[in-house]
Structure 1
Amino acid sequence: MKLTFALILALQVSVCVWAQEWPVPDKELVDKYDGLRTVFIKRLVNAWEKIKTAVEPALEGSPTAGSLKDVVEELKKSPRVESFIKIAGGLASELEPVVDKARLNALGVYGHYFRPYVGAYLDSAINNVKPVLDTVLPQGN
């Protein structure tokens, strides 16, 4: 009961904070952010796949890997884990509009207040880091 009351109060305060008008980000800034975000996610997925393919052969003959697979299979069959996954998925889908609005508001604040002062430096830093990331964490196979 106390937890529910605290959650409702916290949500009410957060709604009041987000109810005010925030600067609207430029379409160019949103497109640039979405492009950088997409490339970064591709880099992470590619790195995960490379790590997985490198580790799988080493774990094939390991007795620990067999017991770990058994534990993972048991967890997948557990009703508690299934319900947790369903709840987490539902919560993520419910929070997606809130996260998108917060992201757009943050981009608007950045574009309105900070970009005139630090935008060029941040852009050059991102462009300088791209070749290093292409070497260390490529986005494609």
Structure 2
Amino acid sequence: MDEIAFRIFQLASQGYCCTQIMVKILLEQEGKENTDLIKAINGLCGGIGFSKGVCGVLTGGVCILGLYSGKGKDDEYRREDFGEMINEYMEWFEEEFGSKDCVDIAGDELKVGKLGETSYPVKCGGIIEKGLTKVWEIMDEHNYELGER
């Protein structure tokens, strides 16, 4: 098991969801921590608000691309390639997994409880790893350096 796959397993075992795992791994790769961001994206878990809607790996990848190319201050603008990168990731994701929705990808294996208690299928770990790899490929193609944002 490689380092990223093992880290995905660790974070899932600690109760982080797919979106949180994606962003947490990115931050770790940068040598950073942002507890508020990790808390905020908890709302994207379980297919957005535990609705089994849009997959957390999709939203996590979009969040990472936004961290690098989106607007964050009054005096800055989104980078010109922002929309192109987001679209590329979304198109790849739907083609790769056959849907954008968590329920279609994880199927009946995804268990969502009343209080947002979620049990993720083992296959989600592989989906997270593929998603991270694709995000990093897109960033590389657009000349973004990991950690320089």
Compare the two structures and name the one with the higher helix fraction. Answer: 1
User: 1 or 2 for the larger relative contact order (CA 8 Å, sep ≥6)?
Assistant: 1
Task: Give the TM-score of the pair, scaled to structure 2.
Answer: 0.27
**Which structure is larger by alpha-carbon Rg, 1 or 2?**
1
Task: Give the TM-score of the pair, scaled to structure 1.
Answer: 0.28
